[in-house]
Chain A
């Protein structure tokens, strides 16, 4: 199994620990990753809102690099997967948009042909063959009550992100992370507003206090279910919960903070990697006590 690894911006720059954990986990389960000179995706929360044509052209360039290497593109972030899947979809559907983008990209020897798929690390790990491998390689359980937060852009709009999974109401909410984590001994816990926003885009673009208020409300529902930790598949959601609890703590004086993990960090722990290996040492809300309680170093 071979993929072009699309790192995006936030993971390699702000949270390289997630990258390290992902590379180690992929190596253990037999997924080969190829690095290519990608740029920013660009985000569905910034460039797309300001200049749609630029958003589509830069996304197309990233897709072209993977096409040229003949590899499907593996993303690690809900924002990146949203942009790249949607751009791939649009450029395959619309002859006029594809022609327009290709006219610009041809000056740099790229041409969008629509030959590859865009996927996300969660979906790659959730494939049957990888799950079998994970079951074989797993050396310990991570028996924690965990709330999964998928991040809106990971699965919405479902007609573009997961067209094969649509319900009769043409809607869809994912279960993959809950299922995947249960095979490493996690107890996935449901909570109210599970599939709603973490608050990040509102804070990043407009109003930080309003963004964190969304986070505070969501954390309230998470606390109601005695959830011990969160699992995310997006660096922006991660920052909103990890950094967000520090910022919110200054106002709310809430002492009990809930650690957040990036998915591959939890999988890495189950495969026998240390907290340092998977980069947990740089999280703002420390998971040390929690991990000691289940004898993970």
Chain B
């Protein structure tokens, strides 16, 4: 199953990029992890097509900090592109294990975090127990949005 990525990001915006690399130069992920950075991602989408980009697990090496978009002199909505690419990657099964585990927890508990002895910990800070999230309702919403077709638990 694929998504029509150009419905979520205007394809012609890719041509606005003149490869100045201000995005990649400001990218905190690029400084510590060898990946492509926003500049090369745009170039790859143009030259190879986005299919090649979303096959690679390196598409996930991103802090989602939005600095690339903030500093882009051409005002290209780079964050929208990166979100659309990764949505597409996830549908092809390219999704980091840590991330799918976090989303499994969300579907099971309605929250993306879990600890043992939560009530005791909250009581230590003078707080009452945290009410359970309405899991049935959330699961039904997720079923109807089609989430279950992308990540199987």
Contacts and interface: CB of A to CB of B under 8 A. Distances in A.
Contacts of A14: 113, 115
Contact of A40 (B67, B110, B118): B110
Contacts of B64: 44-45, 49, 152-153, 201
Nearest to A158: B70
Nearest to A107: B140
A51 B146 contact: yes
B79 A157 contact: yes
Nearest to B151: A50
A46 B95 CA distance: 10
Nearest to B133: A39
A37 B133 contact: yes
A34 interface: no
A154 B75 CA distance: 20
Interface stretch (A134-142, A203-211, A225-233, A254-262): A203-211
B106 A157 contact: no
Contact of B65 (A9, A10, A171, A197): A197
A69 interface: no
Contact of B113 (A10, A44, A47, A282): A10
Given A9-B113, A13-B115, A104-B144, A201 B83 contact: no
Interface residues of B, number: 61
Nearest to B60: A206
Contacts of A12: 122, 127, 130
A58 interface: yes
B90 to A, nearest CB: 4
B112 interface: yes
Interface in B43-70: 60-67, 69-70
A215 to B, nearest CB: 10
A43 interface: yes
A207 B65 contact: no
A120 interface: no
Interface stretch (A15-23, A124-132, A245-253): A15-23
Contacts of A7: 130
List the 7 closest pairs (A to B, CB-CB), nearest first.
A152-B65, A156-B66, A20-B125, A213-B32, A54-B147, A210-B33, A197-B65
